[in-house]
């Protein structure tokens, strides 16, 4: 009699993770949660709450003071090869003479080497072209980055993160400084990746949750994980301390649901 197959490893797991930047105060304290493969997780919380730190711990760029982080069951330094990363775009070096395709090809660095330096071959260019097409930017492949709008630049940077064909994509504030139309287009592109890839996105924009996210993590030193994309009163309280009325006043609609608890530890 054949036993049941073991369930697949979660894409990302934090188990009792704490971290500090060398001071007495913890940036993250006893963070414990797991992200199933194929999830579209939006990470929200106040400035300085630990959202970017969480991504850097997942990538192995930082080492936890306590606890363990795994990517697909592997330590971050091993599992990191399965992850694409899109850092915050500060908008600097807009005049640097580089095209969209050349930026995306940077995501293929490390795939080829002839002993005299890095090079790209036809398969790298095909993969970079496919990543641009996935983000709807194929017609801009040879346009200089300085001639793209902020929303177009952001889609190129996401294409760079997708160029290695990762199983997971981590994004830090990709919606910052882009207009509403570009925001909706970018969100729909990311949502279309979920299922095939795991998407973890840090954002201050609550509109990223409704209609797109399949899960939400509220980060403010501790981490509260909600396995649905609903914006509820207790979710906002966990993330910001209260349901922030000013979010509505600034044009970010949200539907407040009845108070609920996701676990005994919430």
* 24-58 per-position pLDDT tens digit: 789 999 999 999 999 999 998 888 889 999 999 99
Does residue 173 have a pLDDT over 60? yes
Does residue 158 have a pLDDT over 80? yes
pLDDT at 246: 39
Range of lowest pLDDT (73-77, 95-99, 188-192, 258-262): 258-262
**Tokens read off for 120:** 């790209």
User: Which domains, ranges and CATH numbers included, belong to the chain?
Assistant: 12-92+167-249 (3.40.50.300)
Share of the chain above pLDDT 90, in %: 48
**Among 5, 61, 58, residue whose Cα is nearest residue 166:** 58
pLDDT at 235: 60
**Among 94, 166, 164, 104, residue whose Cα is nearest residue 135:** 104
CA-CA distance, 199 to 191, in Å (whole number)?
8
pLDDT at 262: 39
CA-CA distance, 86 to 256, in Å (whole number)?
30
Question: What value does the mean pLDDT take over residues 81-94?
Answer: 80
pLDDT at 227: 81
pTM confidence score: 0.81
Name, of 2-16, 43-57, 92-106, 109-123, the range with top average pLDDT: 43-57
How would residue 256 be classed by pLDDT, with cut points 50, 70 and 90? very low
């Amino acid at each position: 009699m054949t036993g049941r197959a073991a369930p697949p490893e979660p894409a990302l797991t934090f188990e009792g993770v704490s971290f500090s930047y060398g001071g007495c105060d913890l940036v993250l304290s006893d963070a414990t949660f797991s992200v199933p493969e194929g999830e579209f997780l939006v990470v929200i919380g106040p400035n300085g709450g630990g959202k970017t730190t969480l991504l850097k711990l997942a990538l192995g760029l930082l080492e936890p003071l306590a606890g363990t982080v795994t990517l697909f069951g592997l330590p971050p330094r091993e599992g990191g090869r399965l992850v694409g990363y899109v850092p915050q775009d500060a908008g600097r070096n807009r005049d640097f003479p580089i095209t969209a395709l050349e930026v995306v090809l940077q995501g293929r660095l490390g795939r080829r080497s002839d002993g005299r330096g890095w090079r790209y071959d036809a398969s790298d260019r095909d993969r970079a072209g496919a990543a641009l097409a996935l983000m709807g930017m194929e017609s801009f492949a040879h346009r200089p980055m300085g001639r793209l709008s902020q929303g177009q630049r952001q889609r190129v940077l996401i294409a760079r993160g997708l160029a290695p064909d990762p199983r997971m994509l981590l994004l830090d504030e990709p919606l910052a400084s882009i207009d509403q139309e570009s925001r909706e287009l970018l969100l729909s592109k990311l949502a279309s990746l979920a299922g095939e890839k795991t998407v973890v996105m840090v954002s201050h924009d609550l509109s990223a949750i409704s209609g797109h996210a399949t899960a939400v993590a509220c980060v403010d030193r501790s981490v509260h994980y909600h396995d649905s994309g609903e914006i509820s009163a207790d979710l906002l309280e966990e993330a910001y301390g209260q349901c922030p009325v000013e979010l509505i006043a600034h044009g970010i609609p949200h539907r407040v649901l009845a108070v609920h608890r996701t676990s005994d530890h919430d």
